[in-house]
Amino acid sequence: MKYDDQIYRPPKEFKSLLLQVTSGCTHNKCKFCGMYRYTTFKMESLEQIESDVIEASNDPFYRYSKRVFLLNGNPFVLKAERLIAISKIIHKHMPNVEVITMYASVKDIENKTDEELKLLKEAGINDLYIGVESGNQEALEFINKGNTVDEAVREMKRLDKFDYNYYAMILTGLMGRGVDIAKYNGQKTGEMLSKVNCRGIFPMSVTLVRGTELWDLHAKGEYVEATEFDRLVELKEIIKNLNPEKTALISSAHNSNTMFVKGIIPNDRERLISEIDEILQQSSPEDMQGWIDRKRIRL
Ligand code: SF4
């Protein structure tokens, strides 16, 4: 299998075949993100992709795989016809594959027509992970996300129209220190995700990465990191304000989060809030600050 760069994949895809179809991120401007900072975006050749799929189809571990996760960066940026060609290669050699999934940006969805979204879904591209980050417009502007809150909602609604499974990845702590800003961010993110029907909501928490603009701002004293207390308050506020039409899984199973919570929204909302409240009441902000050594977290 050909892998050019460091691989990033969601925790849920730990058993999936990881297939490189692109390298790098076409946006590459989010202030907090160092994942593809020094990687020039490029597409993998269809010949190489087919050779990798054939190799996987002969591997006892992957031969019967049901999920394929396309690497790297934002492969959904590829034109629909190329994604469909990749899907055909996968299904030709690995007939057991049911789900082809990948990271997608809001702009990548916006750049597909309705007809293309429909064809992609029919081609088995039926799962997308979207870096939504926040429902607070000010936060999206601060981090250079490259899309507005309204655009994110509009594009997720288009995915709803074609019955895609998709997952919203969100980031607590983006706007730095302060309980009030944490509450506001949480409220706006919860409200935004209530307007759409994502299958899963995966919170992470912003962590400074050397070489990023956020790191530099922090080094100059122009950005003060959110406390662990702030981050947990924000997570609670997100959950409190989540009220989507359909049920959604929420799971904070990521090492950047202050606390692990998992449940179905809205069914488990009260339980999740009371679990967070218990921690907020039992622990002092000073104690909580020692729970995570963010210097050791790699994002
Ligand atoms: S967060 Fe996502 S969209 Fe933003 S630069 Fe990183 S990989 Fe690209």
Distance from the CA of 27 to the center of ligand 1, in angstroms? 6
CB 134 within 8 A of CB 140: yes
User: Does residue 190 register a pLDDT over 80?
Assistant: yes
- Give residues with Cβ within 8 angstroms of 12, minimum separation 6: 200
Q: What spacing in Å lies between the alpha carbon of 165 and ligand 1's midpoint?
A: 21
Ligand 1: atom nearest CA of 131 is 2
For position 297, what pLDDT does the model report? 79
Residue 132: is its pLDDT beyond 70? yes
- For residue 143, the ligand 1 atom closest to its alpha carbon is 4
Q: What angle do CA 233, 166, 297 make, to 5 degrees?
A: 50
Mutate to test the pocket of ligand 1, among 5, 9, 27 (most ligand atoms within 8 A of CB): 27
Q: What is the pLDDT of residue 109?
A: 98
pLDDT at 251: 96
* CB-CB neighbours of 266 under 10 Å: 16
Q: How far is CA 253 from CA 7, 11, 80, 174, 273, in A?
A: 19, 8, 32, 18, 16
Amino acid at 23: S
pLDDT value, residue 295:
83
CA of 93 to the centre of ligand 1 (A): 31
Q: Given the CA of residue 133, which atom of ligand 1 is nearest to it?
A: 1
CATH fold group of domain 11-291 = TIM Barrel (3.20.20)
By the 8 A CB rule, do 215 and 166 touch? no
- E-strand spans in 173-247? 200-205
Grade residue 5 by pLDDT with cuts at 50, 70 and 90.
confident
- pLDDT score recorded for residue 298: 66
d(CA 170, CA 130): 9
Quote the pLDDT of residue 293: 86
Atom of ligand 1 nearest to the CA of 105: 3
* % pLDDT > 90, the chain: 93
- pLDDT 10s digits, 39-96: 999 999 999 999 999 999 999 999 999 999 999 999 999 999 999 999 999 999 999 9
Report the C-alpha gap between 146 and 24 in whole angstroms. 16
| Percent above pLDDT 70 for the chain | 99
Split at pLDDT 50, 70, 90, the class of 299 is low
Asked whether the predicted pLDDT for residue 174 surpasses 80, the reply is: yes
Residue ranges covered by each domain of the chain: 11-291
